Amino acid sequence: MGVKVLISEDNSFKAQLLTDALIEYGVSIADIIIAKNAYETRCALKDNAGLIDLLLLDLVLPNRFGDTPHASVGLELLKLILEDGEYHPPKNIVGTTADDEAREQHEEEFRRFTTQILMVTPELPDWRFSLQKLISRIERSQEQPRENLVDVCFVTALRHPELAAVLQLPISWTPEQSLGNGVLIQEGTAEIDGKLKKFVCAHSTQMGMIAASYMVRVLWEKYFPRLIIMTGICGGIRNVKLGDVIVADRSWDWQGGKWLHTGEFDSAPDHKEGSPELVALARGTEGLAESFWRGKEKRPESPPSVKVGPMLSGSAVVEDPAKHDIFIRQHRKAIAVDMECFGVYFSADMSVDPQSKVLCIKCVSDLADRNKADNFQDYCSELSARVGFEVVRRYFSKV
């Protein structure tokens, strides 16, 4: 099985440098695809869905033939690859450039989505060494059969209080370690139904769907978890109250679509679903939630309900109640909004062989309006983590 590489590069000299190096490191010329702009890159990804092992993406690209190259094109292409269900994200994405000024100006933005940026020039040999190591790592991963290395991966958007709540679960955690790409993890074990289960947990480097999607992808490629559970806090939209537990049976980017010439927004939601099996297991956890509520002095006024329904995701915190009408128009049963759930569901949906089951369980800490406070964030983070762990316990008790 060979390493299939897509080179997205408008500079023919740089493309040839990369091609020659790849061939030197054992990549077949038949497995190298060259796209000269963003449009050709998108076409190549569609034509080779799920087959690209490595995308070498120029920082500064033209959108189409004859257009002026610009870094915004590369950034938008990255977002499209990671967020749009139309494209299967390559297993590895690496930025490339020959322009030191461009790297300095845009490196921080690109590093949010890619693991590294190679400075590709004839004079600098470092990129060749990095590329060779990357090809070797991909080849080794192809030789090893994929199997679930951990049973459960807990992910959160925030280190405090969301990840802190996960670390309070009855799991023996190891000290924190880095995967070397900005993702910090802790591994752990817990006994469930007489059997020892392996866990890993992590939080996003920043809030938002892109960061969450990237984190889940990195964790999946490292551990191939059987279950991915996201916990934390969210905003309630309607028919919910502070402290309610939201089980997201589906999610989408509520900002996805286009602005029409009339000034109106034409939404085009791309729904991704939580695993139905896990959704079913989350039903009926009201007893646990109410027991948790009764044991807390600082708590919402009334006992929590466990609500199953759609949770929308967006790139910004919502504090405008007028947006609720938009949410409900997109799906009349929408009950909550956050910034990460869709990214997690999207990334899990793209995982194959073996595919992880995924579920987002969050607790309503505000009603997606101006009345935001930190009063119940700790409470909500802990409750969602407890319910998440109960879903895990139920899953492994029945399999």
List domains and CATH numbers for the chain.
Answer: 5-143 (3.40.50.2300), 152-398 (3.40.50.1580)
**Contact (Cβ atoms closer than 8 angstroms) between residue 380 and residue 238:** no
The pLDDT score that the predictor gives to residue 262 is 75
Q: Which residues contact 280 (CB under 8 A, 6 or more apart)?
A: none
The pLDDT score that the predictor gives to residue 10 is 93
- Strand ranges (DSSP E) for the chain? 5-8, 32-35, 54-58, 93-97, 117-119, 152-156, 172-173, 177-178, 184-192, 195-203, 227-236, 245-251, 257-259, 265-267, 272-273, 306-313, 336-338, 357-366
**Both structure tokens of 219:** 């964790």
Burial class (CB in 10 A: 0-12, 13-18, 19+), 120: buried
- Cα atoms in the Cβ-side hemisphere of radius 13 Å centred on 289: 28
**Widest CA span in the chain:** 68
3-state secondary structure of 145: coil
- Taking the alpha carbons at both ends of the chain, their separation in whole angstroms is 34
Alpha carbon distance 375, 299 (integer Å):
9
**Contact (Cβ atoms closer than 8 angstroms) between residue 199 and residue 331:** no
Handedness of CA 64, 70, 76, 77 (dihedral sign): positive
Residue ranges of the chain with pLDDT lower than 50?
Answer: none
The pLDDT score that the predictor gives to residue 117 is 80
The continuous run of DSSP H or E covering 351 comes out as none
The pLDDT score that the predictor gives to residue 115 is 55
Q: Buried b vs exposed e over 357-383: b needs ≥16 C-beta within 10 Å?
A: bbbbbbbbbbbbbeeeeeebbbbbbbb
The continuous run of DSSP H or E covering 20 comes out as helix 12-24
Quickly count: other Cβ atoms within 10 Å of residue 384's Cβ. 30
**Contact (Cβ atoms closer than 8 angstroms) between residue 93 and residue 115:** yes
The pLDDT score that the predictor gives to residue 260 is 65
Handedness of CA 18, 24, 28, 30 (dihedral sign): positive
The pLDDT score that the predictor gives to residue 136 is 85
The pLDDT score that the predictor gives to residue 357 is 93
